[in-house]
Every structure is written in C-alpha cells, then in structure tokens.
C-alpha cells in the first residue's frame, strides 16, 4: 500500500476542503508514492514522535496539529520545528496533518469533545459559509433521470439530513446546430423546439470537478448548457464548534469538575459563576475565544474551550460561564478517533497510537 492510498482514506475522514483558509493541512513532508510500512498517529509531530516512528517502523506520521504552519526560510535545526522536519526527511518519514479539516467535520474534533462529555442533541455552533454551490442544467425528459442519478452518485443533492434532493421543472428549449454540430434531436440547420427538464441541485464546492464529470458523462446532449452559482446558505453540518445538552442539568461547579475528570484536565480556568444550573453546553476544541459571542447567541449556559486571555473572561458578561480547559485537553481524544477510523478502513496494516504525550503545558 502506498502512502497516497492512506491519504485517500484520511481525506474521506477529513476532506481538505473543510479546512480553514489560514491552515496548512495535508501532506507536509514526504513522497506520497512511497510504499507505506506503518502509520503512527499523534497530536503533534515533534522530534521525539519522529524517533518513535523510526523505532516502530512507521514511515507515515499522521498528526493533528501541522508541524509546518508558516513558511520556513531556513532549515538549520535551530528550533523544534526544523529539527522534526530534518529528522523526518533524513529517515524518509512522511508527515500528514488534519487539523481544521477535522475541526470542521460534523464527526470530528468537537463531536468527539461532546461525546466525551455525554452531550446529546448536538449541532454545529458556527456553520461554515460560502461552501455550498448550485448546479442548474437542462436536458430532454428521457435523459433527466440518468443525469439526476449521476449527480446524486457524485455527491450532489445533500441538504442537511436529506440526500438525493433536486428541483425539476418543465420548459421549452430551442436550438439550431451549425455545419459542425451533431444534434441528439433534430438535424443540422434545423430550428428545434422541444420539451426540456430543468434540473437544479446543490453540492459542496470541493465536489465541483466530480459533479461536472458526472454531468458530462451522463448527459445526452453534444453541447451541455449548465450554470453554477455560489449560495449564501450556511452549511449546517460543517463548521467550527458544537453545542449540545447534558442529559441532566448540573450546578456550575459540579459540571466543571465533571468536565475536568472526563477530559483528564489538571485544571480549569473560568469566569464568575452565575449561580444557575447548566444544561446547554457549547464546546470548541483548541483556541476558541473568537466564538464567545456565538456561544452566547446560541443560548449556551457554558462555553468550554481553550487559550482564553485575561480580558476575554469579561466577555462572558454574566450571560454564560466561560471555561478554559486547556488546548491539548480539549482535543485529547482526537488521535484515538483517527486511529479507530484508519483501523476500520485499512485492515491488516499497522496503525499505531503514539505513546508520547506532546502537551507542552504543565501544572504544579
């Protein structure tokens, strides 16, 4: 099995198109054509992780955080990033990062966070915008079902919890072919007027090439008329953060102690207690201060995230309880999820969970 085949599985789990624009995801180091010897899954691809991969005969390291986030002008080994990259290159070890591609997935980081807390009725906190497009095309009635099914098979027509969604309307189409044409209906230089079906379907923007390939393959016409539009609709199943509910309400302090235990945190920094029972919980793995207003607008009683600064705790405004559980802690089970996913998809192949704890934050 080549590394690129494992990458295909990883991109089924966390499509790179889901990642934020600022992020650096995908294959960061290595050659995808190399035969894979084993996969080591970790949180951060540090130098000691590369050493672990060497000792366990794994030539692909799948990490959550990208070790290469911004550009390197020199690779001299003067810092932890450069040392990890040098060691990986010297030992022919590839590094692949998922980061916000998995953050934004409905079964990704924040769903894992919610599941660890036992939250129910979960939904995305900040649905992704500018991600949905619409295809409009026209064909003869006899060809409409074939075109629709081909588009559905390519991934079009997904709306929330529904699939195979389309809108179809009848109309009259006209055309006249020139001397180079080969019309499906009518003859060259003949003005043709006939029944047509207008088909409209939505799709996620990263599927556009696949959608168009299916359209061209299934369509009866020699020249295919189609239009593609960007939609303003938010994608309710893709986005950052998540909000859900506790099965049973808890007192604020009780909940924080519960979260501390479930996420194996050594401490939680929090804003003032409001003095009410909490039930609706918003979470965002990693640095989530930008989503405080979203959590308030969603009616959360608690917003559990990481990397909050001093003045940001004031933004709770006595409307909810803000709690900083720690960056690593909020994402701690992500690597376990990746391992379980790969083991289900790739049988009889070594997929190993790293034994190294890469959390750089320590507590007394």
Dihedral sign of CA atoms 226, 232, 236, 242 in order: positive
Helix (H) or strand (E) holding 142: helix 141-153
Contacts of 44 (CB under 8 A, 6+ apart): 63, 64, 65, 67, 358
Q: Which residues contact 339 (CB under 8 A, 6 or more apart)?
A: 41, 351, 352, 353
**Beta bridge partner(s), residue 351:** 39
**Angle at the Cα of 53 (from 113 to 332), degrees rounded to 5?**
10
How many other CB atoms are found less than 10 A from the CB of residue 204?
20
261/114 Cα distance (integer angstroms): 14
Task: Compute the Cα dihedral for 83, 88, 89, 95 and give only its sign.
Answer: negative
Residue 65 labeled ligand binder? yes
Which string of b and e fits 77-98 if b means at least 16 CB within 10 Å? eeeebbbbbbbbeeeebbbbbb
C-alpha span between 164 and 285 (Å, rounded): 32
- Nearest alpha-carbon partner for 213 in 151, 260, 134: 151
Please report the beta strands in 252-345, taking only residues with DSSP state E, as ranges in sequence order: 269-270, 277-287, 302-306, 321-324
- The answer to whether the annotation marks 103 as part of a ligand binding site is yes
Contact 69, 22 (CB under 8 A): no
Residues 6+ apart with CB under 8 A from 214: 150, 151, 153, 154, 156
Which residues does the annotation place in the binding site for a divalent metal cation? 65, 103, 327, 331
Which residues does the annotation place in the binding site? 65, 103, 327, 331
């Amino acid at each position: 099995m080549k590394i690129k085949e494992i990458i295909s599985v990883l991109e089924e789990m966390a499509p790179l198109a889901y990642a934020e624009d600022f992020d650096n995801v995908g294959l960061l180091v290595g050659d995808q054509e190399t035969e894979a010897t084993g996969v080591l899954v970790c949180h951060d691809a540090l130098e000691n992780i590369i050493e672990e991969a060497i000792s366990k005969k794994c030539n692909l390291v799948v990490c959550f955080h990208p070790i290469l986030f911004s550009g390197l002008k020199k690779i001299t080994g003067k810092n932890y990033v450069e040392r990890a990259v040098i060691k990986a290159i010297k030992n022919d070890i590839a590094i692949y990062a998922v980061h916000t591609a998995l953050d934004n997935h409905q079964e990704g980081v924040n769903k894992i966070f919610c599941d660890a807390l036992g939250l129910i009725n979960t939904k995305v906190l900040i649905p992704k915008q500018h991600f949905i497009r619409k295809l409009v095309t026209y064909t003869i009635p006899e060809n409409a079902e074939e075109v629709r099914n081909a588009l559905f098979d390519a991934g079009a027509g997904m709306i929330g919890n529904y699939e195979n969604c389309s809108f179809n309307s009848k109309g009259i189409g006209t055309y006249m072919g020139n001397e180079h044409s080969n019309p499906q209906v009518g003859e060259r230089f003949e003005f043709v007027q006939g029944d047509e079906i207008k088909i409209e379907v939505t799709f996620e923007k990263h599927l556009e090439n696949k959608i168009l390939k299916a359209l061209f393959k299934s369509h009866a016409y020699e020249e295919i008329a189609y239009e593609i539009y960007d939609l303003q609709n938010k994608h309710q199943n893709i986005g950052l953060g998540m909000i859900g509910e506790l099965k049973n309400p808890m007192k604020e302090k009780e909940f924080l102690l519960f979260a501390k235990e479930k996420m194996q945190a050594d401490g939680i920094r929090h804003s003032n207690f409001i003095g009410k029972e909490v039930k609706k919980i918003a979470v965002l793995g990693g640095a989530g201060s930008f989503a405080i207003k979203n959590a308030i607008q969603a009616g959360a009683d608690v917003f559990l995230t990481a990397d909050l600064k001093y003045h940001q705790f004031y933004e709770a405004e006595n409307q909810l309880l803000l709690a900083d559980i720690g960056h690593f802690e909020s994402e701690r089970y992500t690597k376990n999820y990746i391992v379980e996913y790969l083991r289900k998809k790739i049988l009889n192949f070594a997929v190993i969970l790293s034994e190294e704890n890469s959390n750089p934050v320590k507590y007394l």
